[in-house]
Structure 1
């Protein structure tokens, strides 16, 4: 608690003091000390030798105070203010001369105006202060014919000017440091004010993004125009409310349950759990990005992509808050959903006629003896392209199942080594026709619990991808093995390594995105639509495994799949 809180009765005095000019304030301490000296001297001394000089000293000091209060010192040069402390030195000399010769101790009063001079004008003030102290000390030697303590006076004639010089030097240095600090603080405050105004302008100008700043507990402090447009609520309505109010309660509760947080409905603990899932990794200094349903007039209105970061604490804050940036992606989400539905519908509708074509091709193959060589060639072309089209349709349907959350794996005991051997046998003709060496480096059985159909599809995709990107004379090696994870749990590892064209480093992270094709594939016009690795990643994820990719352009690529080999994953949609 401050002194102002302890003594409210002195508030009027503080208000008056704060309103006074700094020139006058600098003279008040000496005036009070001078008043104390006037009260004490008659009791401390036997007599006052020259009352007229004492009165003259009082008059001079009063004149100094009146001048300090009334005159417009801010219009005049700084040197004009030196007349005030110098006048106070004259008042000291007059008081000392007016008293008895034993009052030479009053000379010490000059240290106060000495400090004022040094504070006001730096080095020049130090010189004036030292000269004033010398003059004040030598005056008794000139005025008093018979000093009671001549030796002490001589000592003071040397000591007091030295003390005055040292004190003035210290005060001047302190004043310079304080002024430099004040100027630095002012420059910093101006810079912060400019930055704040600039940031405030940028935040308000961002009408396409909702920008919201909160304290550490989620209470809204900043709500920009973009947030107003998105939520149809004004900043005045939202500032002071929790950011949790802008999210769908059911969606937040589902996220809380997913995160495994325990909370009681309707309690403060529940609100804290909801806020915790909104900020996510931002609570520990990271960046949290997640899609949420946003509300308008209390009803679900669309989807936003929310980015949450930690806000640096402001001056006076113990803990920083959070910064939320939300972008409306409703149109994008609807477009993706419509595209997925269209692909799923078209793929399903295409599968029936393609199956019919393959059926009739098979019937033609049964009558192979009646076909000419040219006709047999036509049938093979039809079958090859129909199979290729059917494979593409199957990939599209599988991708649609993954996106819709209906992708199902049915794990059972399987040997990964046998799956790899079967895939290598199937890919061998393609490898031979392209003059690529295909090797199976698996040394022993690799038992695990997995969906054998999806596992074979995963290995086929990886081998097909490696062979397509490897030029004639190159090599593709596939290995499967069992090993122990860091937690000693058994895991199956599959590696597919090629000496192909490689993939640019900046594109490696996008390889498992659907419909993405590396630049090395498009430049060489390699066939494909960019679904194989996307489906492979989905299969690996469904089995609780990991897919890692390392590649160097012009050297080759290695795909590594790690699958748990202990407990079978739960069968069901993923």
Structure 2
């Protein structure tokens, strides 16, 4: 911007210089013209004064002036010239010089063709400026006709040197030159200041515009001016405000889009028409075991560790239509994924590529399988008691049993099977209600020692029948917060299972103690141990599944429904607890329930 400032200063100085020189030439010409005009006027007045006061001598009768006339007019012109400080010339009508104050008229040429004589003859006054070879300087000649009948009929011409005028003009030029030089210096300073006042804000505006072009939308001009430059600064500030607002909207939308993509529960992969990967969200990274930084901008064939997926992506790009498929990925564990591909077209039907949505449906398919197995198990479990009831009832109705004792045993079987059916239906309804979270939990303080005394009374008869010793080690002062009915359901199931799967003469033990979690939370640990047959290691991961039995024959003979431990697990989790199991075959089993001392403020599950 500084070269522009210098150029602007030079232009202003040049304009001022041209204007100054033009003014100087104009003033010089006016000065000279005015002085010449003044001289002309004075000389004309002198001619008119001579016309009225000069004693003209009568000319001779011959065709040429006499010597006496020439001497008279010559001597008179010399005297008049001394008085007027000018050259005086008497010229007859035909142009013959009869008297001159500086030259001998006898040697002078005819003046009829002189410029001032011709003008005087035409206009009554003639003047001319020309160089005098005699005096070697510029002279002003003024002539006027004079008519004195019988005495003189011709022209009186006065001439005066312009040396004084030219000296005055030179002095004026000297003064004007000095003035112009001073003016030029002042103009240079003023021009530079003016140029600076114009270019400095422009330089500032240029710097701000460059910062805005480098995406610094916080830059502002902030010029406090009321002229066009100030309006330009305000316009740039308004533009920056608008750009900053639009950029904020764009960034907010981008952040929102990135947040949506990052928190989607499904994988998103976008492949451009040329086969390059344009987008991979976080879920897809985790599912496919890739890094978006490494894969974006590269070919979809970089998914080479998932050959079938890469093949499907390529097929979608070629077909340019919706596709759907399910594949199994290994990363490193197997996952069943569902892939939906959608072609992307712009408004002008330009093909942009394919958008692939990848969903992990492993849990969905597992739940579907569990549901099918649950329905099959329920059907099987219901079919067994119903078949027994129906068979023995038909036998009794047919009258084929005459013995009363046999009939009573049949009726007992029917009653036992109906009870088992009732328990099964009750457990199924209870488990369904727990899983669907339709029942509220009513948390209240529970004194654990009397609480487990009531459970002991409930199960004493079952333990006594098998001569099993029950040891309940519960601290006297221990309280906790829980839903009392649900807590009772948990431990009745666990302790009754321990009694059922322990041989006669065995032992069932409950140990209760306070613990502390790694986060510093107070918790209660319950250990239900028995000396029963134990659970094989291969069965331990599945014992909390619905209808899963380690020993199916033993379970049915004991009246179990196969849903007790599943109910226990759900109820423990609803109390924000954890249930685990450890077991050794023919030695015994220990179920450990870990519950918080105080529950969170939740009323429903």
The TM-score with structure 1 as length reference comes to: 0.40
The TM-score with structure 2 as length reference comes to: 0.38
Higher CA-based Rg: 2
